Amino acid sequence: MSPSRVFCCHKGEITNVFMTEMQNNIDFIIIWKKINDKLSVRQEKEFNQWLKADYSHQVFFEKVLHYYKTGEVKNARDHDFINAWKSIEPHLKDQKIRRMPDWIKISASVAATVLIMLSVYLFVDTTTESENVTTAREMIIPPGSSKARLIFDDGESVDLAEGRDFHGEVDGAQILNKGNQISYVGTKATEVAEVKYNTLEIPRGAEYFVILSDSTKVWLNSDSRLRYPTAFVGDVRQVELEGEAYFEVTKNTAMPFQVVSQGQVVEVLGTEFNLSSYNNDDLIYTTLVEGQVKVYTEDNPELTQTLVPGYQTYMYKESGDISVRKVDVNEYVAWKEGVFYFKNENLENMMHTISRWYDIDVIFEQERKRSLKFTGEIKRYENLERMLQLLEETQEVNFTKEGKEIRIN
Domain residue extents for the chain: 4-139, 145-332, 338-408
For residue 185, the model assigns a pLDDT of 86
Q: In terms of DSSP H, where are the helices of 282-369? A: 330-333, 347-358
Residues 98, 95: Cα–Cα separation, whole Å:
10
* Coil/strand/helix, residue 94: coil
146 neighbors 45 (Cβ within 8 angstroms) = yes
| Ordered strands of the 373-379 beta sheet | 4-6, 373-379, 339-346
226 C-beta neighbours (distance < 10 Å), count:
24
Please provide the CATH number assigned to the domain covering 338-408: 3.55.50.30
What dihedral angle (degrees, nearest 10) is formed by the CA atoms of 352, 354, 355, 358?
170
Best CA proximity match to 173, nearest among 116, 131, 214? 214
Give the chain's largest Cα–Cα span.
Answer: 78
* Coil/strand/helix, residue 41: helix
The DSSP bridge pattern shows strands 217-220 and 206-211 to be antiparallel
Residues 373, 6: Cα–Cα separation, whole Å:
9
**Mean pLDDT per 10-residue run, the chain (409 residues)?**
38 31 53 67 78 67 56 51 45 36 32 33 35 45 92 91 73 81 75 81 96 96 96 93 98 95 94 96 96 95 94 95 96 94 92 96 95 90 88 89 91
DSSP class of 120: -
> Which H or E element spans position 402?
strand 399-402
Q: For 308, how many CA atoms within 13 A lie in the half-sphere containing its CB?
A: 1
Best CA proximity match to 197, nearest among 166, 161, 173? 173
Provide the CATH topology of domain 145-332.
Jelly Rolls (2.60.120)
Residues 384, 211: Cα–Cα separation, whole Å:
30
Best CA proximity match to 230, nearest among 273, 262, 269, 183? 183
For residue 357, the model assigns a pLDDT of 97
Contacts for 127 with CB less than 8 Å, ≥ 6 apart: none
